[in-house]
Amino acid sequence: MRAASEMNGTGGNVVVAMSGGVDSSVSAALLKEQGYQVTGVSLQLYDPIPKEAGCRIKTCCSLDDVMDAARVAKKLGIPFEVIDMRAEFKQVVIDYFIAEYAAGRTPNPCIRCNELIKFDLLLQKANAMGADMLATGHYARIARDNNGNGRLMTGCDPAKDQSYFLFTLSRKQLRHLLFPVGELEKSHVRRLAADYHLPVAQKHESQEICFIPDNDYVRFLESNGVARKPGEIVTDDGTVVGRHSGLHRYTVGQRKGLGIAWRHPLHVRALNSVKNQLVVGGRDELDTASLTVGGATWNVFPDLSEFRATCRIRYRHTPSPCRVVVLDENRFSVVFDTPQYAVTPGQAAVLYDGEYVLGGGWIE
């Protein structure tokens, strides 16, 4: 198989998901330059946050971003439209986010959005618009064989690789996707944006959750029905060492803000939603040797019930060598060569074979 950015100048029709940022804007410019018939599309995913609310302006998926995308499309001379997906986004991303926190898990809404909004609903929309392909500004690559079948690979820039967020992509979906900046480094993308004279060339990017004002997820959850239910803070042996103010206010690995005076620093080890207890322990107690994953998606279903791989348990996590045991099509377990810090239920565990994504799922 060959790894390629797929910019072969075929002249086909392609819809580019334009977020208003540098990466998707450059993707559109590159594809147009290569001879594709490009249409830009932005998604309206949530209601704008009123400026009078005093919240800091987002740089991802906001109304300002849609306007930036429109400006880029005008500069490139390509058609542009906005698709309203607020109802769908609320149902499959926002409601999921709230329910996961209420259940004592820490969700990843970006993966959920990619899976069910961008690469499902939007891909269907692109097809209905007569497009051969859908392109985004993700830093990832697709290796294709001579029949067009694809395998997901990491992006060439290790500091920007976003393959972790894309593990749910199926082989069928990959046949219809393009990641034009996947073989480029971020600095190169910035230079290209300047060369194309794009109005977003110097625009900052956001690492925050797009639909939460000021990234204050606690206030967001409590204003959306998650009750503040105080309970006990306990050690692993059941010793009560304090009181918490609601499990949704804490995350695994957290040390500050616990309000506990103890003989050594305590960190959050687990959120026990059944007993409404916050479990804490020393730093060395947060190292985990193994985990179990559910809701698995396989880019390539393994031939063996046990195999070697590397595993990421969060976006910025360095893939760690491990042994994988396939339990069934939907579940697998991971045994790390070296225990890993702060394994968090609700987050994704993604498996790699070198640069290739094998699959992933959700930590139980």
Cβ-contact 142, 174 below 8 angstroms:
yes
* Residues 138-151 pLDDT 10s: 999 999 988 888 99
Query: Where do runs of H (alpha helix) occur along 22-167?
Result: 22-33, 63-76, 86-89, 95-102, 109-113, 122-128
Cβ-contact 141, 3 below 8 angstroms:
yes
Which pLDDT belongs to residue 51? Answer: 52
Same fold, 227-281 and 286-363: no
pLDDT class for 57, splitting at 50, 70, 90? Answer: very low
Rg of the Cα atoms in the chain? 22
pLDDT class for 61, splitting at 50, 70, 90? Answer: low
Question: Is the per-residue pLDDT at 5 higher than 50?
Answer: no
Which pLDDT belongs to residue 79? Answer: 98
User: Strand order in 277-281's β-sheet?
Assistant: 240-244, 231-234, 277-281, 267-272
* Residues 92-132 pLDDT 10s: 999 999 999 999 999 999 999 999 999 999 999 999 999 99
Q: Domain 286-363 is in which class?
A: mainly beta
Just give the CATH number of 2-215.
3.40.50.620
Catalytic (active-site) positions: 113, 210
Number of neighbours of residue 74 by Cβ within 10 angstroms: 12
Q: Domain 227-281 is in which class?
A: mainly beta
| Average pLDDT in the chain | 93
Query: What does DSSP say about strands 331-341 and 320-328: parallel, antiparallel, or unpaired?
Result: antiparallel
Give the span between the Cα atoms of 315 and 136, in whole angstroms.
19
Q: Where are the domains of the chain?
A: 2-215, 227-281, 286-363
Which pLDDT belongs to residue 60? Answer: 62
Which range (37-41, 44-48, 272-276) has the least confidence?
Answer: 44-48
* Residues 184-240 pLDDT 10s: 999 999 999 999 999 999 998 877 889 998 889 999 999 999 999 999 999 999 999
* Residues 337-351 pLDDT 10s: 999 999 999 999 999
* Residues 300-312 pLDDT 10s: 889 999 999 999 9
H/E stretch holding 241 reads: strand 240-244
* Residues 268-287 pLDDT 10s: 999 999 999 999 999 999 99
Give the span between the Cα atoms of 351 and 364, in whole angstroms.
16
